[in-house]
Each structure stands twice: as structure tokens, then as C-alpha cells.
Amino acid sequence: MLKTHNCGELRTEHSGQTVTLAGWVNNRRDQGGVIFIDLRDRWGITQVVVDEQVHEQAHSAAEKLRSEYVAQVIGEVRVRPEGTANPHLPTGAVEVVAREIVLLNTSKTPPFYINQDSKVDETTRMRYRYLDLRRQRMQNNIILRHRVVKYIRDFLDAQRFVEIETPILFKTTPEGARDFLVPSRLMPGNFYALPQSPQQLKQLLMVAGYERYFQIARCFRDEDLRGDRQPEFTQLDLEMSFVQRDDVIALIEELMIQIAENVVGKTPMYKPFPRIRYYDAMEKYGSDKPDLRYDLAAVDITDIAGKSAFPVFVANAAEGKPVKVLRAPGMAKRSGTALRKLAEELETIARSAGAKGLAWVTLPEDESGEVKGPIGKYFTVDQVLEIVERTGAEGGDLLLFLSDKRETVWAITDVLRRHIAAELNLADPEVLAFGWIIDFPMFYWNEEEKRWDPSQHMFTMPMPEDLPLLDTDPGAARGSQYDLACNGLEVAGGSIRIANREIQEKIFPLIGLTMEEAREQFGHMLEAFEYGVPPHGGIASGIDRLVMVLAGEPNIREVVAFPKTQTGADIMAGAPSPAEPKQLKELHIRTTVDG
RNA sequence: GGGGUCGUGGUGUAGUGGUUAACAUACUGCCCUGUCAAGGCAGAGAUCGCGGGUUCGAGACCCGUCGACCCCGCCA
């Protein structure tokens, strides 16, 4: 080893020891006769002091050092002179007096600051990702990610799970996301697909009798990117036999709590995690992955609004369209101009979610004041009081009225709620608010294709008591699906699977598959399921998103070592790139794009 | 496929149609024996993403294009 200690570990008790350190020059302060070098490695920073009169050779070597040069320092640890300790550094009580400095490598001037967390254009960061990753913030994130994955492996191993690898080259399926395809050289005209998740394979491992399987699995989906979505990502994928819904939920909840507390040092806001029915989540928050760090729930006032003098609400209520109120706490305290501007802004946001307009009233700050706003006059005092009581609103609140088709109101609730929370700084990145969403509908209606689409996947077991609904009212049937939301992100989702051939065969026609098509695409599954399938269920958790939320980072790229840009490109390496004609020929591929 | 924001020395920004494009920091050289956001002095560094257009005059305005980012669609 070119070092005996790392740059983060020396303390006063090492005083007097001769040590060898090696790392990067974080900073150099040249005082003339004495030079201070802050030497940095993964573990920290240690101040190296070089005195011209004591070690002339080391001093002249230190004069040539620059930022990010790689150097080895041999010297003696000593307690810093009285009054020169640096309380901001863990190693700040000591310094290493350099006897010898070996220049291991020079460096060009970096294109951005490595030694401070300042804003840098993301294109530049991506182009020099290896330098970006050298920065403290990124090292923290990448190492946190390692610790989370390590914790998961140890936790599940202790619970007698077996980690099993499944193929990356697999079979395309028509359902779900767009597949990444890989042409087969040995079978011209045929393609593998990269797995969107190891869903089928893990169920087959249950058939195979492993009972408790997990994998830290890379998954691929060829869809457009978002701040929380990359085309390739990592899932904790697991499956268990002889379990019911609450067994899987309890296991993952315990795992998440332990990760939060033991790895990140944050106690989740709610313990145990609340369980919210899908319909209630949509009614209150307009989202199946609500941010539970704040409440701001929409409240139904259809009955009151239906009796108001506002024609739109009366008409909507009569048609069965809900009228709901969303509180914007304290937002009515703004001045007239600021309030009008805010209302316009909120209306624009509401319209983007399908609203035709946005009605609002302001509550006075004191009892003698009056309710103001475009529709204030349509409500009687008693009606206003009833609304105030039902919503828990207080003086100075801005009340937003949402009324439309139920699904549209959900969408508006979601965007407004998140905007208000952002405006009021209610989403503290230090807080972790987990919550389960349960009782999802089995299917949602696909109007374009005139069929039911599974809301999770076709192997999701219906809730036992809803089995009869498959024949009578599939839209009302609930699945055994469970999703875990944290801070407005979906961080896990799973279900109990269908282990019964008759039930599975009822699902196919509902989702528009004939038995022939089902056999063609899932024959291996159906066949396997004839050989003694245990009842089983599982869950998958997006590691990237989980680490993102644990780290309090605003986007997924901050926790992926080498992420893709929004156009799916790797700016550093220049991927994707054209293939050589020879490669294409071998793969029996011709492109329609002119080279 | 659609909507939006941004693009100015290495980096981060300012620049409200009119001087030699400004500031901070980084960088280079010199000075300096207790600094740690070191300090002082001097210096170098910009075809204002690219291409058209409007104008007497464009970093700024318009159109296009490229790239990054945010969002909708999409993501079982």
C-alpha cells in the first residue's frame, strides 16, 4: 500500500507516529516559508504542513503541487500548535509534518470545482462525470447507495432469503413498457428483450421451491425519462411463498424503517406506516403516491355547494360531479396584487391538469372581516361556516374550489397540492414520510383499445372477497396490490400473485388476450403453474428512487454513478452511437436511418 | 409527439437595442513562516451554443437549429 493511514482518521492520539498518506490535493496554501496542503481521499482531509527550514526537499516538491494533483506524503503526525486547530475538520486537531512528498501524478485544471459543492451546469458534470463523482456530495450519495444495498442483502440473508440472478437477455412481452431489444446473431431476425423486471422469473423460482428469493436486479424500460426515471434502473426484487399480503408489507416496512434509522439516521415520520386505500388517497390527495410530509387534503363539499347560489356548482352537483375544497394555509394574507397573481398562477396550474377554471375565496383574518373572492357572494354565512368547519380552515387561508369529473378533480388536487406545498416549503427533504397504498382496482378501462388493462400486471391476485366481481363488474374488483410511497415518490410496489389456473384464465379475456395468445406469450408460465405452485407474493422496490429520497436529492441522476440524460444519452462516452456496417450485417440488421 | 425554462472567459453570474462585454472565483507569475473561503501585487483568459433575419447598430428582438433541464403524453 502507498499509504499507512487514510486522510480522515488521524487524531491527537496518533501524535508522534510516522505515517504515509496518499490522495489528491484538495487545496494548497503557500505562505512562502511554509506551505499547507489539504490532502484528500475518500475518508477525509488532512492538513499537511511543509516547512522550508526543516525539510527543504519536501518544500520544493510542495511548491509544484496544484489542485487535484495526486501525491504521497510521508511525515510525522503532531498536535497543531495552540490556536491553529480547525474545528470544521474531523482531523483538525492534528497535522502531518511532511518529511517527503512524492508526486504520483499531475492533473489538468479541473473544469469545475471538486473541493466545493457549487452549482455546475449538468452537461459539464456529465461530460466529466468521473470528476463530478470525485466531489463530496456525489461520494456521499454513491456510498450511501452501497450501504443501503449492503443493508438489504444482510437483512434478507438473515431472513433466509436467497439471492438468485436472472437473465438480462430474455423474452419480449407485449404488455407494459416498451422493451429494449437485442438482435440475435445466431438466430437471424429474432430478438431478445432486456427485462423490465424479473417478474415472471421470480414467480418461476417460487414454483422451483426456493420460497424466499431476492435480487438486486437491473431493469430496463424504453420510455421517456423524468427526474425520477432512468431507462435502466435497479430494483430490489423479492418474492415469497406461503405468505399473505400483510406478511410482505410487514417485512418491507421493517426493512425500510431499519434502513432509515440504521443507515441514514432518520426516523420515519409515521411508524407504523399508514395504510391508505387507493380511492381515499385519490379523493384526499389526488395521487396514488401522495407526499405525506404534509396534509393539505381535498375535502368534499358537494352537498353544501349544491345548495349554494353558484350555478356551476349546483349544476355539477346535480350531475354527480364532486365539488371539493383545497386549503392553501395563510395564503390569503398576501396583498391584493400578490394575491391576484397567486390566484392566476394557481388557475394556470389547475388548467394544465384539465380544470376549466379555478374558483376561490379568502377567509378574513379576524372574525369581523368578510369572505372575499370571485365566488364568495354565492355562499351564505352558514354555508361558509360549515365549509370552514369541515376543512379545518383558519383565518387568512385561501380556499380553492375544485369541481369537475371525479378523475379531473383528482388530477387538479394533485398538482395544486404539490404546488402549494412547494410554495409554503412544506416538503422538508430531511423528513421521510412512508405510507402504503392498498386496495387498488384490479383494472382500469383502456378506452382506446376497448379493454381492461391490469393496474399492476396480469398475475396480480384479486382480493379474495372480490373474486365474484371478475364476472359481474371487473372495474370494481380490487387487487391484492400494495404500493409504498415516500415523499411523493413510488418507492415499492407488489402484490400477491395468482396461483390458481382458473382465476388466471379469467383474467386473460378481460385484458383482451385470447387463450391462444396467452399460451403463445406466457405458455412457459402457464405450463409451470401446472406443477404445484405455492401461494406466493412479492414486491419490488426502486433502489435509485429509494436512495434519492433517503439522500434528499431532487433527482435520480444524483444517486446513479453514470446516468443518462433526458434524451437517453451518455454524454461522457457518447452513447448511443452508430454501429459499424459489419456489426449490423452480422446481426442481420438494416437501419432505416441514413448513415 | 406536445408545452415550458436555460445556453455570455475554466466555473458561477451581470449585462433593460448604442463606449473597449462587467463582477466573483478558478488559472499563471512574483511576494509572504501558521494558513485552512489564506492574503498582497501583476497577468492571461470570451468568435456571447450554432445558422439565418430585423435594424444605421444585436449578447439582447424574431425565425430556425443543437444541447441540457422541468412537465404532459408514455412509464403493466
Find the DSSP H helices in A184-335: 199-207, 245-258, 278-285, 302-305, 311-318
Q: Is the CB of A576 under 7 A from strand B?
A: no
CA–CA gap between residue A511 and residue A450 (Å, rounded) = 9
Residue with smallest Cα–C1' gap to B32: A32
pLDDT at position A595 is: 47
Contact A482, A437 (CB under 8 A): yes
Distance, angstroms, CA A389 to C1' B9? 61
The identity of residue A395, as a single letter, is: G
Distance, angstroms, CA A35 to C1' B66? 47
Of A residues 157-176, those with CB within 7 angstroms of nucleic strand B are 175-176
Mean predicted confidence (pLDDT) in A223-240: 97
Radius of gyration of chain A (CA): 30
Residue with smallest Cα–C1' gap to B67: A123
CA distances from A66 to A27, A48, A136, A211, A224 (A): 8, 14, 19, 57, 42
End-to-end CA distance of chain A: 50
Distance, angstroms, CA A44 to C1' B43? 35
Map A190-230 to HEC letters: CEEECCCCCHHHHHHHHHCCCCEEEEEEEEECCCCCECCEC
> Where does residue A6 rank: exposed (0-12), middle (13-18), buried (19+ CB within 10 A)?
middle
Cα torsion A281, A282, A285, A287: sign = positive
> Where does residue A360 rank: exposed (0-12), middle (13-18), buried (19+ CB within 10 A)?
buried
pLDDT at position A594 is: 62
Q: What is the pLDDT of residues A161-197, one digit of tens each?
A: 999 999 999 998 777 899 999 999 999 999 999 999 9
CA–CA gap between residue A512 and residue A233 (Å, rounded) = 30
A88-102, A263-277, A508-522, A562-576: which has the minimum mean pLDDT? A508-522
Residue with smallest Cα–C1' gap to B4: A352
Q: Is the CB of A287 under 7 A from strand B?
A: no
pLDDT over threshold 90, residue A522: no
Query: What cell does A482 get?
Result: 400494495
Q: Is the CB of A446 under 7 A from strand B?
A: no
Distance, angstroms, CA A376 to C1' B16? 41
- % of chain A surpassing 70 pLDDT: 99
Contact A7, A44 (CB under 8 A): yes
Contact A462, A474 (CB under 8 A): no
Q: Which of A136, A183, A163, A192 is nearest to A24 (CA)?
A: A136
DSSP A28: E
Is the pTM higher than 0.90? The answer reads: yes
Distance, angstroms, CA A142 to C1' B9? 33
A81-95, A275-289, A339-353: which has the minimum mean pLDDT? A339-353
Of A residues 532-571, those with CB within 7 angstroms of nucleic strand B are 555, 557, 565-567, 569, 571
CA–CA gap between residue A536 and residue A514 (Å, rounded) = 25
Q: What is the pLDDT of residues A371-427, one digit of tens each?
A: 888 888 899 999 999 999 999 999 999 999 999 999 999 999 999 999 999 888 899
Of A residues 454-473, those with CB within 7 angstroms of nucleic strand B are 454-458
Find the DSSP H helices in A483-556: 501-510, 515-528, 543-551
Q: Kind and range of the H or E element at A21?
A: strand A18-30
**Rounded to the nearest 5 degrees, what angle is found at the Cα of A345, between the Cα atoms of A344 and A348?**
85
Distance, angstroms, CA A557 to C1' B18? 44
